[in-house]
């Protein structure tokens, strides 16, 4: 994992920050997400039917997005930060299905870094890649607020 002093954040605009390790999407993870959200659509949790009709159960799109913070921890951490706040997303696009048993990883690129309220508002483009596939599973512009301390 790369450690970056917060004061250096503006110099990273336009640069790739890094790429995470691969993470396997398991049926257990999909089932736990379904339980947490109440989304038990068959394409996610009915292994027999999903395998027959789709080749495998498919991870929820929002499960894939929810893994961004976890995967991003493997890429980089800003040092000298007292708190970080998830401010939202400018856009999120699900561009490929993520079958159970596949592996994903995160690619991070800083799009902007602006001073805000004593800290920085940072916009990162997060691309969730699917092993063996040209088209990514998801591309999201995520906005964060980081404050020194």
Q: What string of DSSP letters covers 100-114?
A: TT-EEEEEEEEEEEE
Say whether pLDDT at 71 is over 90.
yes
- Give which of 128, 148, 149, 145 is closest to 23, Cα–Cα: 128
Is 0.85 topped by the overall pTM?
Answer: yes
Structure-model confidence comparison of residues 1 and 69, the more confident one:
69
Say whether pLDDT at 145 is over 90.
yes
Digit-coded pLDDT (tens) for 82-133: 999 999 999 999 999 999 999 999 999 999 999 999 999 999 999 999 999 9
- Average pLDDT of span 32-37: 98
- The SS3 assignment for 106 reads strand
13-84-148-17 Cα dihedral, nearest 10 degrees: -30
Say whether pLDDT at 56 is over 90.
yes
**Average per-residue pLDDT in the chain?**
97
pLDDT more than 70, % of the chain:
100
Say whether pLDDT at 1 is over 90.
no
Say whether pLDDT at 148 is over 90.
yes
Domain borders along the chain are 2-24+68-148
Whether domain 2-24+68-148 has CATH 3.30.2350.10: the reply is no
């Amino acid at each position: 994992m790369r450690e970056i002093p917060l004061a250096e954040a503006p110099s990273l605009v336009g640069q790739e920050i890094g790429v995470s390790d691969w993470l396997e999407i398991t049926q257990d993870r999909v089932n736990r997400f379904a339980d947490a959200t109440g989304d038990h659509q068959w394409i996610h949790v009915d292994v027999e039917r999903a395998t027959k009709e789709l080749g495998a159960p498919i991870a929820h799109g929002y499960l894939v997005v929810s893994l961004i913070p976890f995967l991003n921890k493997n890429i980089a951490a800003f040092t000298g930060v007292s708190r970080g706040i998830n401010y939202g997303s400018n856009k999120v696009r699900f561009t490929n299905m993520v079958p159970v048993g596949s592996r994903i990883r995160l690619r991070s690129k800083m799009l902007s870094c602006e001073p805000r309220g004593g800290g920085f508002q940072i916009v990162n483009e997060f691309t969730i890649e699917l092993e063996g596939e040209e088209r990514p599973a998801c591309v999201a512009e995520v906005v964060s607020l980081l404050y020194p301390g």
